[in-house]
Structure 1
Amino acid sequence: MSVTDKFISLPNKSPKCTFSLENFPGIGKKIREKLLNYYSNENDALKAIQVGAVGCVPGISFKQALKFAQTYFELTEEVSLIDVLVTPDITEIYDNVIGHIEKYARTNYSKLKLRLYFPLPSHKIQLIKERQQYFYKSIQFVQKHSQNLKERGFSKLLSALDNLKQGEDFPKIRSRIIITDSQKVENFLVEEDIISSIVFEKINFSKITDNLKFFQNYSRNFDVVIYCGDHSEKIPAFSNLITIPSKNMSIETLVPEKIIRVFGFNKNIIQSMIRIVVNLKNLKEEKLINHFLSHFDIKKIRTLKENTSILDEKGEILSKIDSTLDEFRAIADEFSSLVGETESWINDQIQSEIGQRSIQIQGKQILDLIRTDLSIEQVRNYIPAEVDELIEETIHKGLETLCKQLHLGKQDQDLTLNLIPEIIEFPIQLNTQECDVLEKKISARLNTHKYSVMVKIASQLSETYEYLLQLHQILLEFDFFYTIGTFAHQFGLSIPQILEKQYGFFGTNLTNLELKSEKISNQDSKKNDPEPIPITYQLGSCTDSKIPEITPATLCLLTGSNSGGKTMCINTCSQAIILAQMGFPSLGDLKFHPFDELYYYKKSSGQLSAGAFETTLLQFVQLAQSPKLKIVFADELESITEPNAASKVLSGIFSLLLQNPNNFGIFVTHLAELLQTNFTAKQKNSIRIDGIEATGLDKNLHLIVDRNPRFNYVAKSTPELILTRLAKSGSKEQQLFFSTILKLFNH
């Protein structure tokens, strides 16, 4: 498998600027070495960085990987989010759009990766098209297979992908030590971060006077002692002392747990990954997801399944995998009880044997025994030899049995003799200090054999370890692919049409994401709310002959009633443009030409201070004179200053915007009629006034509003309808007050 086959990506293009891992922002020496160790060469590593795939490299998080991918994109494409989303308000709308998509992401990877996508400028049309082709397949896939996959609990399986552990919380092994006299070995231990996982000591043979005594000390204090180096002839023979030539050193041979525990800790997630693969394979969907299916190596996946079947969820080797390991493990677990049973048997035997015998003692001995000044030790001198022999024989029989139960080899059988207490007292208690020594020996035997078994298992697992990480990366990419398709399917989105020779946009059936989201949530809670009303809107030369009343204009003034939907209209249009320029499915049916810059100005909560007012005006001068293709969404910009000056300020801004053919804008305003008096005939040809108007009140006194803007129509704000509603509701005093005001409108 080539490196470019190790991950799924969007189109992979050669960079416009040249850089290397050496000067890549955010990549230091340690990460650079990890990348070069994992990938065959620097070029392959950079390609993996480009698509955010280096999260499968041990020691690099997915968050880091996606940050590197973002940096790579900005360097090679020479564009960043702040270049396109210019004002804080348009960035806020972008964040809200991302927030809606995030709800359909099952993994943190997908949520993080969404931030790699932001609206692209007009000179990135080809890249937008490539993204559209990719995400079109995701829509088609979800529409075709989502119900089938939902019934199989597919979303839950994808959610499990978040839980893969790469040994980040690996506990330090304190019962094993690595000893070396080699700088090469020490460097390897540091580079692979093995030094943080195991006790390590550097030695110098020239300063050791007695090798046997020196290594015996380590052998007694550690269960497993590993010498890794090239002077094996200087290493004495101890049962728990293992020699590894430096040429054979690896993570598998030194710390096999690092690989084994990855498989054990991830046993459940590996099973989920296999089920995901099986589900996708069974769909036989070559057309839409072949770029994922082609990476599913059934032979390796079968090996993954077999490998995890020998481990528990803590990375421990299950029983019945190695009979000797099972035997040593059982003995170590039962050591204390076996010693206790041996003591009980010895004492029972002594008591039984002596109780059944007649022991003779001479009269003079009796007289000596009844002396008052005799110590216990002196009394022992009068115990007949046959009793001593009986006790000694019984102890030896008990220890012989214990030796067999502990399965000690000939070289270790003398250890049980050390358990005989120095002073024989009844009941017999075996030497506790020597019991500890023997237990340490039993533990060392278990862990030494367990280590050798783990080395074999780790060697087998290492062959599939890389594929495990690759498969995980592929399935995370699939979750991202599936996320976009699910989001688009739920919200009824489609791939917009890019118009390269026309400018502006034209959209029909545009439904605001907030309104659609509420409807979807209410459906889940079984509320029967009406469907949100989709709108049609247009700006620039992107038109449709089916709607003849549309007059192409680069600047639109949106007028109409309070609470009629003007703000919602420009918010919806901005959402549509943002999604479209991200290369994502967008609202309704949309035709557009990408803008280089997007601006949005929310309605001011009050008149701006002199400084803020000045800053806003300067910003409009700057954006109006910029040669970049741009669109401005502004909500009641007149609120930034006092009413008398507002129309003059807006007229000046519009006049400045119209001087540059690359300026497009939609302005919500209540001053349309007043502004018209300030427009020249030429300006009126470039400005279209549209309206959203309330026509009355329904039986519940709610405004009756056609949310769809009427083109070339100045809509009234109709405050009298609001007054009518207030005059028909509330207390008698309120009704009287508002009726009085309403009469003023009727004269």
Structure 2
Amino acid sequence: MELEAIPGVGSKTAAALSELDDPERALETGDVAELASAPGITEGRAAAIARGAVRRRHDDPGGFLATDRAKEIYRDALGLLKDRTVTSYGEKRLETLYPSGVESRIEEAREFAESALERSPDPDVLDALADVEPLSPPRDVSVRDRCLATADAERYTEAKDAIPELSVEVVEDARDLADLARGYSTVVALDEEFAGVAVDGDVRVEPDALERPAEVVPERVLAFYAANRECLQAAARVHRAAGIDPPLELDALEDALARVDSEGTVVGDDELDRLSRAVDDLDAAASTAESVANDALREAIEEQDVTVEGSDLLSLVEQGAGVDSLLARELSDEYAAAVEQAREELIDSLDLDSGEAEVARRAFSEEPTFPVERDEEVVSRLRDDLQAAKDRRATRRKRELAADLADRREDAERLVRTALELDVELAVARFARDFDCVMPEFTDSGFEIVGGRSPLLDVSFEAVEPVDYDVSGVALLSGVNSGGKTSTLDLVALVAILAHMGLPVPAESVRIERFGELHYHAKTQGTLDAGAFESTLREFAGLATGGERSSANGRASAADGSGGADGTNGANRLVLVDELESITEPGASAKIIAGILEELRGRDVTGVFVSHLAAEIREMADYDVPVDGIEAKGLEDGELVVNRSPVKNHLARSTPELIVEKLAGDSDGEFYDRLLEKF
């Protein structure tokens, strides 16, 4: 794949993406987490790149969301979906869904949505998802207890490149190997010429070691699982709870993960634990053993009556003898017993095996001395022996564990990706369930919404009244203030956006044309200045002639999911306009709107224009403009009672008319009757 051919990807971004292990797979699947792991790529940027890859794959020019209000509705809809994700990945992954006018893209997204709707958002699955996150790169590994050795300069360079985790040493002969063996618990000689050489220590001749890095440095394999241990365990729980067939044996994976901690240390091995404790406790145990011997010897001395004749004492003094000589002569048995107690204390407290115990016994000499002191050289030797045994045991266990896990990484990554993608699917399923959604049906002309309810209103969804509305061509929508005209436009826009995202829509049923663009002009606050008014007219001129949209509102951007505005999709356009009369003086508004409707008539446009000037517009237009009305049934306790579904071909009465009608009914005077006749 030519990375720079993706919309929005330049040379620097392409270079960053090329550092990924498999950028094509990440782009093909919309793997935002993987794309965001490229140098300098944020999650938001990764989502935009994934959208660009989708557009390129479907030859999608973008630009469906042609106005700011259309983009706002898209962001609101996306927000509702994001609110139903559990993982941060799910939030970003949803940003790769965007409304499009390209049939192949819509169908691809519909397939995903239809599959998602079959998912059941089980609480156990959602709980397990809470601990799933994109996989982290393993930390850099540096191993100090092993080294590679070679006499060949070329092999030396090859080894440093192939296994950078280990030190590589240059040797000339067996003596050099022996020197290395004294400083490392394991030395791996890479040259066959060293085969059969007898050297003290753990020296292995393995000419093919560079071809088996997982065996030589199993920490490389374990680092990945250590960094992602909890995430992998959570992904396994997700698969079990959701009943998804995993790409690998979950019991075996969980058993292996239970044997490595978050630092990459092998756990659950009794012998390794024993050696670790012995190394850690050696100094304290030796001190305790000294105390045991001295306490026993002191007690023996205190209880023993020692008689030394004058001639003997004089002889000992003349010989320069001290208390040690007295101990050897008078308390040899007691001293031997005290030293034995020290030895047993050291051996028992460290749980040493027979070979280790033999070294430990030499830490306390049989030569009498007081106070009894350990031989530091022997203790140091014991420490080295224990540390070497510990390192060898840990390496062996790491090799065994790495052998179990080395070939499972790809499947483990797929396990997590599947769990994360499930979060995206469940968000769609939860959205559809929460808002009583159905998959829309695409038709040839206009739209028909049955039982539509917008979740964007500032009331609970259960309190939203359903709306039925259909339009083919361009229609005016009239109605009372606060009757629901704007919310009806919002509903139509939301349904259109979700349908063109390939997602379910909040309605009992929806039939809708595949539009190429959505132009939604929200009601302006106050009269526009001359420049803004001119810009607005230019945009409607573009709609009427099928030309380019104005730069004021029509330029799409990657940030809102619509892609670039580099052309249309060759399909009809949906135009929603809320009280266009607010852009200029009331006297001119009806004329302007009537003229716009005349120009849009017969064009590739389906539109709804909300206006309080429907009657005036219809009178000024040169054709019979369809007018629909949101009709108020009347007033109850000062509140409007409204039928929220627009009535076809009906000019709705205004709020003032309803108020005057109510007053006329409540009064015997003729004043209100005469006012009512004006309507």
Unaligned 5+ runs, structure 2: 150-154, 548-569, 664-670
Matched, 1:461 2:423: no
Rate the CA distance shift 1:132–1:15 in 2: closer, same or farther, 3 A: farther
Give the equivalent residue in structure 1 for 2:417.
Answer: 473
Aligned residues: 633
- TM-superposed CA distance for 1:534, in Å, is 1.4
Cα–Cα, structure 1 residues 330 and 506, in superposed 2: closer, same or farther, change >3 Å? same
Instruction: Give, in whole Å, the separation in 1 of the partners of 2:383 and 2:125.
Output: 50
- 1:675 is matched with which residue? 617
- Provide the residue aligned with 1:558 in structure 2: 477
**Using the alignment, how far apart are the partners of 2:202 and 2:174 within structure 1?**
22
Cross-structure match for 1:285: none
Query: 2:441: which partner in 1?
Result: 497
Contact 1:576 1:586 survives alignment (8 Å)? yes
- 1:268 CA drift (Å): 5.6
Partner of 2:161: 187
Task: Summarize the Cα distance change of 1:226–1:184 in structure 2 as closer, same or farther, 3 Å threshold.
Answer: same
Distance in 1, matches of 2:661 and 2:418, equals 61
Q: Specify the code of the residue in structure 2 equivalent to 1:630.
A: R
- 1:489 deviates by 2.4
Q: How far apart in 1 are the matches of 2:191 and 2:276? A: 33
Q: Deviations over 1:269-309 (max 9, x none)?
A: 5555445444554xxxxxxxxxxx5x545x72342243334
Q: Shift of residue 537 of structure 1?
A: 1.8
8 Å Cα contact 2:35-2:46 kept in structure 1? no
SS at match of 1:161: coil
Displacement, 1:678?
2.7
The residue identity in structure 1 corresponding to 2:579 is: E
**Pair 1:253 & 2:173 matched:** no
Matched, 1:158 2:136: no
Residues 495 and 349 (structure 1), Cα distance of their counterparts in 2 relative to 1, 3 Å cut: same
2:646 matched to which residue of 1? 709
- Secondary structure of the residue aligned to 1:711 is coil
Q: Residue 564 of structure 1: CA displacement?
A: 0.9
Tell me if 1:619 matches 2:539: yes
Letter in 1 for 2:127: K
Distance 1:125 1:384 in 2: 102
Q: State the shift of 1:601 in Å.
A: 1.7
- Which whole-Å CA distance do the structure 2 matches of 1:419 and 1:611 have between them? 100
Distance 1:450 1:347 in 2: 37
**1:508 to 2:450 alignment:** yes
Q: Name the CA shift for 1:562/1:408 in 2 (closer, same or farther; >3 Å).
A: same
Q: CA-to-partner distance for each residue in 1:142-189, whole Å, 9 max, x for gaps?
A: 5xx56xx45xx3322333333x65455x47657546556632233234
**Structure 2 matches for 1:323-338, cutoff 5 A?**
323-338=270-285
Q: Which residue of 1 aligns with 2:573?
A: 630
Distance 1:697 1:231, change over 3 A: farther
Equivalents in 1 of 2:312, 2:534: separation in Å? 121
Output one character per residue of 1:100-146: Cα deviation in whole Å (capped at 9) or x when no partner. Answer: 1222223333322221111121xx3244234434433433x25xx56
Query: How far apart in 2 are the matches of 1:519 and 1:26?
Result: 44
In structure 2, relative to structure 1, the CA distance for the partners of 1:213 and 1:722 (3 Å cut) is farther
The CA distance in 2 between the partners of 1:67 and 1:365, in whole Å, is 99
The whole-number CA distance in structure 1 between the counterparts of 2:439 and 2:24 is 30
Amino acid at match of 2:618: Q
Match of residue 511 from structure 2: 591
Is residue 215–residue 236 contact of structure 1 (8 Å, CA) maintained in 2?
A: no
Q: Deviations over 1:461-504 (max 9, x none)?
A: 223332222122223333333332232122121111112xx222
**1:646 CA drift (Å):** 2.9
Matched residues in 2 for 1:421 and 1:612: separation?
A: 104
Quick one: structure 1 residues 216 and 361, their matched pair in 2 at CA, closer, same or farther if it must change by over 3 Å? Answer: farther
Q: State the match for 2:55 in structure 1.
A: 74
Q: For the Cα contact (< 8 Å) 1:690–1:715, is it kept in 2?
A: yes
CA contact (8 A) 1:325 1:449 kept: yes
The equivalent residue for 1:407 is 352
Q: Aligned to 2:21, what secondary structure does the other structure show?
A: helix
On the 8 A contact 2:581/2:590 being kept in 1, the answer is yes
Structure 1 unaligned spans of 5+: 1-13, 36-44, 190-194, 282-292, 372-376, 521-529, 541-553, 727-739
Alignment partners' CA distance in 1, 2:674 and 2:20: 81
1:38-53 matches, within 5 Å, as 46-47=24-25, 49-52=27-30
Task: Select 2:95's aligned residue among 107, 115, 123.
Answer: 115
Report the Cα offset of residue 643 of structure 1: 2.8
Quote the Cα distance in structure 1 between the aligned partners of 2:2 and 2:178. Answer: 62
Deviation, 1:88, is 2.0
Shift of residue 570, structure 1, vs aligned partner:
0.5
Counterpart residue number, 2:80: 100
Q: Distance in 1 between matches of 2:187 and 2:13?
A: 37
Q: Is the 8 A contact 1:703 1:721 kept in 2?
A: no
Q: Is the 8 A contact 1:239 1:445 kept in 2?
A: no
CA distances 1:642-680 after superposition (whole Å, capped 9, x unpaired): 33433344344334433x612332222222223233311
In 2, Cα distance between equivalents of 1:247 and 1:743: 104
Equivalence for 2:607: 665
> d(CA) in 1 for partners of 2:674 and 2:179?
108
Mapped pair 1:570 → 2:489: yes
1:63-118 CA-partner distances (Å, limit 9, x unpaired) = 5876654332122223265x211222211101111111222223333322221111
Show the counterpart of 2:528: 608
Q: TM-score, normalised by structure 2?
A: 0.78
For 2:215, the aligned partner's letter is: T
- Structure 1 residue 347 corresponds to structure 2 residue 294: yes
Pair 1:647 & 2:612 matched: no
The one-letter code sitting in structure 2 at the alignment partner of 1:456 is E
- Residue 379 of structure 1 and its aligned partner are, at CA, apart by 6.2
CA distance in 1, matches of 2:70, 2:194: 73
Q: Provide the C-alpha distance between the structure 1 equivalents of 2:325 and 2:296, rounded to a whole number of angstroms.
A: 22
Aligned equivalents of 1:72 and 1:126: distance in 2?
Answer: 14
CA distance in 2, matches of 1:398, 1:537: 97
Code of the residue aligned with 2:476 in structure 1: it is L
Q: Is the 8 A contact 1:177 1:225 kept in 2?
A: yes
Match of 2:393? 449
> Aligned equivalents of 1:351 and 1:131: distance in 2?
87
Pick 1 or 2: higher relative contact order, CA cutoff 8 A, min separation 6.
2
Q: Aligned in 2, Cα 1:605/1:136: closer, same or farther, shift over 3 Å?
A: same
**Deviation per CA, 1:652-711, whole angstroms, max 9, x where unpaired?**
4334433x6123322222222232333113xx3xx3222223332213x21111111122
Mark the CA change 1:362 to 1:579 in structure 2 (over 3 Å): closer, same or farther: same
Tell me the distance in 1 between the aligned counterparts of 2:460 and 2:90: 24
Cα separation, 2, equivalents of 1:408 and 1:57: 53
Separation of aligned partners in 1, 2:615 and 2:36: 66
Q: 2:562 maps to which residue?
A: none
SS of match in other structure, 2:131: helix
Task: Confirm or deny: 8 A CA contact 1:240 1:445 kept in the other structure.
Answer: no
- My pick for the range that moved more, 641-650 or 480-489, is 641-650
Structure 2 Cα separation of the partners of residues 745 and 642 of structure 1 = 26
Per-residue Cα deviation, 1:194-222 (whole angstroms, up to 9, x for no partner):
x5xx5x5454447x997258626743xxx
State the one-letter code of the partner of 1:345.
V
Note if contact 1:636-1:667 (Cα within 8 Å) is conserved in structure 2: yes
With the length of structure 1 as denominator, give the TM-score of the two structures: 0.71
- In the TM superposition, residue 355 of structure 1 has moved relative to its aligned partner by 3.8
% same residue: 22
Q: 1:428 aligns with which of 363, 369, 372?
A: 372
Q: Residue 519 of structure 1: which of 450, 453, 460 is its match?
A: 460
* Distance change in 2, residues 1:411/1:571 (3 Å): closer
C-alpha distance in 2 between matches for 1:161 and 1:330: 34
